[in-house]
Chains A and B, each alone.
Chain A
Amino acid sequence: MDAPSSTVLEARGLEKRIDGPSGRLDILRGISLAVQRGETVAILGASGSGKSTLLGLLAGLDAPSDGEVRLLGQAISELDEDGRAALRAGRVGFVFQSFQLLPALTALENVLLPLELNPAHAGTARGVLQERAQGALERVGLTPRASHYPHQLSGGEQQRVAIARAIVDDPAILFADEPTGNLDARTGERVIELLFGLARAPAQGASPTALVLVTHDAELAGQCDRILHIQDGVLA
Chain B
Amino acid sequence: MIAAAGAGFGGLRGLLRGTWREWRTAELRVLAAALVVAVAAVAAVGFFTDRVDRGMAQQATLLLGGDLAVVGDNPLPEAWREQARARGLETARTAALPSVVFSADDESRLSALRAVDRSWPLVGEARLRTDPAAADQPRTHGPEPGTAWLEGALLRELQLEVGDQVEVGDLDLKITGELTREPDRGSSLMDLAPRLMFAHEDLAASGLIGPGSRVRYELFVTGPAAAVEEYRAWLEERLEPGQRLMGLEDANPELRTAIERAERFLGLASLMAVLLAGAAIAVAAHHFAQRRADAAAVMRALGASGRRVLLTYFSRVLLVALLASMVGLAIGFGAQFVLSALLGEWLAGDLPPPGPRPVIAGLAVGLITAAGFALPALLRIGNVPPLRVLRRDMGLPPASVWLTGLLAVLAFGALLYWQAADPLLAGWVLVGTAAALLLLGLLGLLLVLALRPLRNRGGMALRFGLANLSRRGGLSAVQLVAFSIGILALLLLAIVRVDLLSAWDASIPEDAPNQFFINIQPGQAEAFADRVEASGLERPHLDPMIRGRLVAINDLPVQPDDFEDERDQRLLQREFNLSWAEQPPAHNRVIRGHWFHDGPIGEAAGDAWSVEAGLMERFDLEIGDTLTFRIVGQAVRGTIANVREVDWDSFQVNFFVIGPPALLQDQPRTYITALYVPEELRAEQSRWLREFPAVTAIDVTALLAQVREVMDQATRAVEYVFLFTLIAGLTVLYAAVQATRGVRRREAALLRTLGARRADIRNGLLAEFGALGFLAGLLAAVIATAVGALLAWQVFGFDYRINPMTFVFGIGGGTLGIALAGWLGTRRVLDQAPLTVLRGPE
Contact = CB atoms under 8 A, between A and B. Distances in A.
Given A103-B471, A117-B460, A117-B760, A88 B838 contact: no
Interface string B439-462: 000000000000000011001100
- Interface size classification for chain A: 20 to 34
B755 A105 contact: no
A85 B757 CA distance: 6
A171 to B, nearest CB: 10
A223 interface: no
Given A85-B755, A88-B753, A94-B754, A104 B838 contact: no
A88 B752 CA distance: 9
Nearest to B768: A104
B466 to A, nearest CB: 9
B754 A61 contact: no
Interface string B373-406: 0000000000000000000000000000000000
A61 B834 contact: yes
Nearest to A62: B835
Given A61-B833, A85-B756, A117-B754, A96 B468 contact: no
Interface stretch (A5-13, A24-32, A108-116, A227-235): A108-116
Contacts of A87: 755
Interface string A81-110: 110011111101010111010111100010
A94 B840 CA distance: 14
A56 B838 CA distance: 8
Nearest to B839: A52
Nearest to A101: B750
Nearest to A55: B838
A96 B833 CA distance: 16
Given A56-B835, A109-B467, A102 B750 contact: yes
A118 interface: yes
Interface in A61-88: 61-62, 81-82, 85-88
A15 interface: no
A39 interface: no
B841 interface: yes
A119 B382 CA distance: 50
Nearest to B841: A98
A98 B755 contact: no
Contacts of A149: 471
Chain B binding site: helix, strand, loop or mixed by DSSP? Answer: helix
Contacts of B841: 98
A94 B753 contact: yes
Given A98-B841, A104-B464, A117-B760, A61 B835 contact: yes
Contacts of A170: none
Contacts of B834: 61-62, 85
A82 B833 contact: no
A177 interface: yes
B541 interface: no
Contacts of B838: 52, 55-56, 61, 96, 177
Interface residues of B, number: 31
Interface string B744-782: 001100111111111010000000000000000000000
A147 to B, nearest CB: 12
A4 B459 CA distance: 34
Contacts of B464: 102, 104-105
Nearest to A94: B753
Contacts of A103: 471, 743
B837 interface: yes
A126 B457 CA distance: 9
Given A100-B837, A116-B460, A82 B754 contact: no
Interface in B791-842: 833-835, 837-838, 840-841
A61 B460 contact: no
B769 to A, nearest CB: 15
A105 B469 CA distance: 11
Contacts of B459: 116
A85 B760 CA distance: 11
A96 B837 contact: yes
Interface in B239-253: none
A81 B755 contact: no
Contacts of B750: 100, 102
Interface in B345-373: none
Contact of B747 (A90, A94, A102, A114): A102
A126 B756 CA distance: 18
A88 B755 contact: yes
Query: Residue among A52, A102, A103, A109 with the most chain B CB within 10 A?
Result: A102
B834 to A, nearest CB: 4
B833 A89 contact: no
Nearest to B756: A117
Interface in A23-68: 52, 55-56, 59, 61-62
Contact of A86 (B470, B757, B840): B757
B829 to A, nearest CB: 13
Contacts of B833: 61-62
Contacts of A86: 755, 757
A142 B692 CA distance: 100
Query: Residue among B464, B755, B837 with the most chain A CB within 10 A?
Result: B755
A114 B837 CA distance: 16
A90 B471 CA distance: 26
Contacts of B468: 104
A88 B758 CA distance: 14
A126 B746 CA distance: 26
B835 A88 contact: no
A89 B467 CA distance: 21
Nearest to B469: A104
B665 to A, nearest CB: 83
Given A82-B758, A104-B467, A117-B460, A61 B840 contact: no
A203 B731 CA distance: 51
Contacts of A114: 754-755
Contacts of B837: 61, 94, 96, 100
A149 B455 CA distance: 14
Contacts of A82: 757-758
A55 B837 CA distance: 12
A92 B746 CA distance: 19
B744 to A, nearest CB: 11
Contacts of A113: 460, 751, 754
A86 B751 CA distance: 11
Given A62-B833, A62-B835, A105-B467, A90 B840 contact: no
Given A98-B840, A104-B464, A117 B751 contact: yes
Contacts of B471: 103-104, 149
A85 B752 contact: yes
A94 B756 CA distance: 14
Contacts of B758: 81-82
A98 B460 CA distance: 24
B24 to A, nearest CB: 18
A100 B464 CA distance: 16
Contacts of A118: 755
A199 to B, nearest CB: 18
A2 to B, nearest CB: 15
Contacts of A165: 754
B66 to A, nearest CB: 73
B471 to A, nearest CB: 4
Contacts of B754: 88-89, 94, 113-114, 117, 165
A87 B472 CA distance: 32
A143 B476 CA distance: 31
A95 to B, nearest CB: 11
Contacts of A89: 754-756
Given A96-B838, A113-B754, A177-B838, 6 more contacts: A56-B838, A97-B840, A98-B840, A104-B472, A109-B455, A109-B463
15 contacts: A55-B838, A61-B838, A62-B834, A62-B835, A96-B838, A100-B837, A102-B464, A102-B750, A104-B468, A104-B472, A109-B455, A116-B459, A117-B460, A117-B754, A118-B755
- Interchain residue pairs A-B with the least CB separation, the first 3: A89-B755, A104-B471, A104-B467
